[in-house]
Amino acid sequence: MQRDLGRVMQAEYVIVGAGSAGCAMAYRLSQAGHSVIVIEFGGTDAGPFIQMPAALSYPMNMKRYDWGYSSEPEPHLNNRRLACPRGKVIGGSSSINGMVYVRGHAKDFDHWAESGADGWSYSDVLPYYKRMESWDSGGHGGDPDWRGKDGPLHVTRGPRDNPLFKAFVEAGKQAGYHTTGDYNGAQQEGFGPMEQTVHKGRRWSAANAYLRPALKNGKCTVVSALAEKVVIKDGRATGVQVSGGDVIEATREVILAASSINSPKLLMLSGIGPAKHLAAHSIEVIADRAGVGQNLQDHLELYIQMAASQPITLYKHWNLFSKALIGAQWLFTKTGLGASNQFESAAFVRSKAGVEYPDIQYHFLPIAVRYDGQASAEGHGFQAHVGPMRSPSRGAVTLRSNDPNDAPKIAFNYMSTPQDWEDFRTCIRLTREVFAQKAFAPFVKHEIQPGADVQSDAELDAFIAEHAESAYHPCGTCKMGRVDDPMAVVDPECRVIGVEGLRVADSSIFPRITNGNLNGPSIMVGEKAADHILGVDMLPKSNERPWLHPDWEHQQR
């Protein structure tokens, strides 16, 4: 799949990064007849650790597939360094993520448009979501009119066989919340089934959905190399210098899709960014853009873990023999427990009256386990991952040095406002209320984490400071906005302001983080950016009207 560099190479479009957005653009641009070179430092995504959905905790913790970034010590979280995995592999982070598929709330994109990303409102982006999806509810309901039927990205739902998945939704209902048959349809708010990028039992990454078809049309090539900087001549991007000093030339445009961590790093190494910061690292300033690397956002989350009174959780498979059986069944038939990420029920709720649309997300999992694959010492259990959606905290990605091999400095500045703490305490208390409903009575033994004795604000704050983890949704570091916005890095057509022939299209351009997991919106950005790059008419706007709680101003549920 990958070609090593032995000579000067040239294409109309050079894309840096074979991740979620990069693969989508490679597919659309090559499909339109243009030559495309994708530069990807990571290697192949072949093998069961990536392709088997239930094995998701493995690639995320393997140096072979992950850049291995971590934050600087976070001052508000006991100076912990939090993991910040980014995919270093074909498919990028879509090859190592949890495969959860969320579009984001309609109001998220309306906010983008209001803040200067003209043409990115929900009515503008919904047609791109439909174009990219092949949606199959698996007989679990949903909103077919809101969904795509024949796109490259397969979106499915798990079988939801474990009774705990239904108990979670029923408990939400008993607590007074709405249910929703499709949080990616008209109504995000409520409890219901979760969606995953899985197809015929395999992880359906951007590589499987977009890059492999692109490579078959003869117009797209993947080059294995480390992008060191964008070559800019007379104010125009003409190519990308890669490890070894070779230059891959772009006769039309260079497009950065290297992640919200590596895209700003690459811009700064190329002389585009805050002038003082670049000068401090002896980098010649080509475009003084104060916003490069700023506006860093993420979702934090906690696991609220319960010990189970019945041996019905996935813990019964937490042994080598059972794992081997599940692995063998998956290898030969692509079925069984190995064919799902096990996130099969979800919820989006509002934290209080007066919040217009959901600001809390739940992932429900029928085992008590950490992202690194460590099971709870309690044995049988289950957990809800919960966290606020719109933290006011902002961080930054900055250069450690001018050496392209050095990891950048990543300072999220998590939990830096009083609202963050209030929001997280609310998350914990609302979750406890859900687990206390009748639907869970047959299954709950006791609370493992935080533990029933952790009740006061101060006790909860201490728990949050020690246990909050990233949900791995970094974004915002090359903000999209109007040309006269001093903090905008790209305009609404993803063009880097101040340089010709250069775009950025990945999660770094999000003006503000969207509700839920970011893989879906990142692919959508690649889809829509491709039309901007091609200079074709945008897909016609949608007239669909999303559901909002009719009395959101006065009711929390």
Grouped pLDDT means (10 residues each) for the chain, 557 residues? 60 98 98 98 93 91 94 98 97 97 98 98 98 90 93 96 97 98 98 97 98 96 97 98 95 98 98 98 98 98 96 91 92 94 96 98 93 74 97 98 98 98 98 98 97 97 97 98 98 98 98 98 98 98 97 98
The response to whether 97 counts as a known ligand-binding position is: yes
pLDDT of residue 2: 54
Domain map of the chain by residue range?
9-71+82-137+199-292+476-539, 159-193+297-393+416-467
Q: Is 480 annotated as a binding residue?
A: no
SS (H, E, C) 243-260: CCCCEEEEEEEEEECCHH
For residue 1, what pLDDT is reported? 52
Residues taking part in catalysis:
473
What's the rounded Cα separation, in Å, for the pair 117 and 512? 11
Q: Mapped to the 3 state alphabet, what secondary structure does 22-52 carry?
A: HHHHHHHHHHCCCCEEEEECCECCCCHHHHC
Q: Same CATH fold, 159-193+297-393+416-467 and 9-71+82-137+199-292+476-539? A: no
| Burial (CB count <10 Å: 0-12, 13-18, 19+), residue 229 | buried
Q: Is 98 annotated as a binding residue?
A: yes
pLDDT score, position 3: 53
Q: For residue 372, what pLDDT is reported?
A: 67
The verdict on whether residue 99 carries a ligand-binding annotation is: yes
DSSP 374-436: PBPTT-SEEEEEEEES-----BEEE-S-S-TTSPPEEE--TT-SHHHHHHHHHHHHHHHHHHT
- Domain 9-71+82-137+199-292+476-539 -> CATH class: alpha beta
In CATH, what number does 159-193+297-393+416-467 get?
3.30.410.40
Identify the pLDDT of residue 61.
85
